[in-house]
Amino acid sequence: MITTDKRWIKQYVLGIGFNGPVYLATHSSANNYLEAVAVKSAQIDTDECSILREEGQILNKLKGSPYIVRCFGEDKSIEYKKWTYNLLLDSGTLLDFILFNGRISEQMAALYAYQLLKGIGHIHNKGYIHGDIKLTNILIYPNNKLVKIADFGSAKEETSCKHQIFDICSVGCVIAKMLTGKPTWYEGQINKYQRQICGLDMPDEEFIQTDVSNMAKGFVTECLFCDFTGRLLSVDELINHPFIQNAISTPENEEHLIRANLSSAVNDNIFGDNWISERDLFTTTSEEWKTKIRRSIKGKKDTFATYSGHDFR
């Protein structure tokens, strides 16, 4: 269990989530980011805080799949004189990876598609839908050939086919983005491409590049057509698609998937418990508060000096 003399520091904002900022945080004694975590924060006694707590509860119920983001626990702290609720999670998004590295090979995309479908299946079997599968809500660990579904802020207790279809369709969008390296291939284009595939409209651009195999295109089409036809293909049906089977049946990938499933049963929580409930991991002292105020004042003076031609330092 973490104690308050082992404080963590929010290094910088990774992004702004549905319910507030998401920070990258490291242990105060760390000199690298190997044990960094993502921290979703909200001021206590707000609607955002209530939703964030609910997300934590959902993630605690979804434990057991290697393809679902790990939630280490929660923390309450006083940060710059405000009571703050913090949810402690894995970090590192697929969007960042594609922006820096471009297209993902078909075999790797197929391996990731398998993991996403297994994760979606786990979520649906637990009686939930994710509702927001996209690049920024998928974590990637390329060294381990692993992806995890994250950000359950839009998740709901729901078993209807209509809502499950949306999750499956979104997987198709994500795989298309992997294959093309175009993170702007967004959900609003789904209907456009569905009509092109059916021959209802003439394409004004290639659905997916011609150097992507027909097998890969076929898999994406199957995912997208769940929404177009209203028929929900089961996770098992999609996993049995040749695009995925050809990738996961190699000895190397079979071994990798076995290791991934075994690792889900191992307690490798960097905080030392399955679920921590702490206080003051991020609490700021009065001196830190004063330092922040001084920096703010100095920044305003520097800005004013730049425009006025005077130096107040």
**pLDDT tens digits, 215-274:** 998 898 888 777 555 566 788 899 999 999 999 888 777 777 776 665 554 445 667 666
The topology (CATH level 3) of 1-91 is Phosphorylase Kinase; domain 1 (3.30.200)
Of 29-38, 53-62, 80-89, minimum mean pLDDT range: 29-38
Pairing of strands 71-79, 276-279: parallel
The predicted pLDDT at position 150 comes to 93
pLDDT tens digit string along 106-124? 999 999 999 999 999 999 9
Cα–Cα distance, 214 to 224 (Å, whole number): 15
Pairing of strands 37-43, 20-27: antiparallel
Of 18-32, 42-56, 179-193, 238-252, minimum mean pLDDT range: 179-193
The predicted pLDDT at position 265 comes to 46
The predicted pLDDT at position 309 comes to 53
Reported as a pLDDT band with limits 50, 70 and 90, residue 142 is: confident
pLDDT tens digit string along 2-16? 334 467 888 888 888
- Could you tell me the residue ranges of all domains in the chain? 1-91, 94-263
Reported as a pLDDT band with limits 50, 70 and 90, residue 192 is: low
3-state secondary structure (DSSP) of residue 274: coil
Distance set, CA 76 to CA 4, 13, 21, 86, 151 (Å): 11, 18, 15, 6, 20
Looking at mean pLDDT, say which of 13-22, 148-157, 250-259 comes out highest.
148-157
The predicted pLDDT at position 138 comes to 94
Architecture of domain 94-263: Orthogonal Bundle (1.10)
